[in-house]
Amino acid sequence: MLHSALLNVMIKAARKAGRTLKRDFGEVEHLQVSLKGPANFVTAADRKAEETLRAELIAARPGYGFIGEEGTNITGSDTTHTWIVDPLDGTTNFLHGIPHFAISIGLKREDTVVAGLIYNPATEDMFVAERGKGAFFSDQRLRDQRMRVAARRRLADAVVTCGLPHLGHGDLALGQRETSAVQAKVAGLRRFGSAALDLAWVATGRFDAYWERSLQPWDLAAGIVIAREAGAIVTDLDGKEAMLERGEVLAANDAIHRDLLKTLKAA
C-alpha cells in the first residue's frame, strides 16, 4: 500500500518523535524506584515529542495551524487547515512503565478531521486513515492491513472499553452509574488509559466499543477519522457530531452504538 504524500508526512513525524519517546520510556522504567519519581522526566519527554512533531509538520506544511496538548498554538496563514496533536496520550501509563501510550496526529480541514495517525512507539502499532480512503494498520510484522470494526451485533458479546473519572477529574457519580449500566449488559468492560488507542482498537475490531467524557480535542481528533474509516459510528454521547466541542465520544459498529447509546442515556 502506497500512502499519500500527506500520510507520509505524518508517518515520518510520528516515527521521529516516537524514537525519542521510546528511548525515554526505557529510562522511565528505571526511574520508578526513585522517591521523586519520573514525573518531571515524563513532562520533559512529552514536550520534546511535541516540539519534534511541530517542527516536522510545520516544515512539511508551512501554512497550516497547529494545536498541541503541551501548549503549542499556532495560527497558520492557511486558516482552513489545523494539526491537532497529542504528543503523548496515555501519560499515566507512560509514567508507570506501562507500554500503552501513543502519539496522535489529526488534521482538521474547516470543521472536519480529514486525516489521522495514532502510533504506539512501544509496540510500533501504527493506525492511519484519510477521509474517504479507508483505515490501515501496521506493526513490526504486518504491513498496511485494512482495518474494519468488529462485526458483533449483540452487547452480550461485546468487549467495551471506556474512560473513567479519577482524582479531581470528571463526574465520579455519573461515571459509576454509566459503568454499572454497561457492565450488566456486556461480555467485558475494560479501562486501558489512552483515548487515542481506545479509538484505534475499536477500528481494528479488538474492542467492540469505546466511550468517554471530559476529553480534549487532541485526545480524539485522529481517532475519529480512523474509527470512521474503519466503519465505526462515532458520535458524542447525545448521538450528535459535537465530539470535539463537548469532549465526549462513543464509537462502535451501528448495532452496538445504538444499544450502548440507549444504555448510557438511561444511566
70: contact with Ca ion by CB under 5 A: no
- Measure the N-to-C terminal CA separation of the chain; round to a whole number of Å: 44
Among 130, 178, 208, 219, which residue interacts with ligand 2AM (rule: CB under 6 A)? 219
- Using the contact rule CB under 6 A, the part of the chain among 5-13, 75-83, 172-180, 192-200 near ligand 2AM is 192-200
- Using the contact rule CB under 5 A, the part of the chain among 153-161, 203-211, 218-226, 243-251 near Ca ion is 218-226
Partner in contact with 163, chosen from ligand 2AM, Ca ion, none, beta carbon below 5 to 8 Å by kind: ligand 2AM
Q: What percent of the residues of the chain are helix, what percent strand, and what percent coil, each to the nearest 5?
A: 40, 25, 35
> Which residue is it, cell 459509576?
176
Give the total residue count for the chain: 267
CA dist 217 → 99, 104, 150, 243 (Å): 23, 11, 25, 8
Shortest distance in whole angstroms from residue 130 CB to ligand 2AM: 23
Count of beta carbons in the 10 Å neighbourhood of residue 98: 17
Shortest distance in whole angstroms from residue 172 CB to ligand 2AM: 13
| 216, 219, 224, 229 alpha-carbon torsion, rounded to 10° | 170
130: contact with ligand 2AM by CB under 6 A: no
89: contact with ligand 2AM by CB under 6 A: yes
- Using the contact rule CB under 6 A, the part of the chain among 7-15, 24-32, 49-57, 86-94 near ligand 2AM is 86-94
CB 234 within 8 A of CB 224: yes
Give the integer Cα–Cα distance in Å for 205 and 197. Answer: 12
- Of 38 and 217, the one with the shorter C-beta distance to Ca ion is 217
Contacts with ligand 2AM by CB under 6 A lie at 69, 86, 89-91, 163, 169, 193-195, 212, 215-216, 219
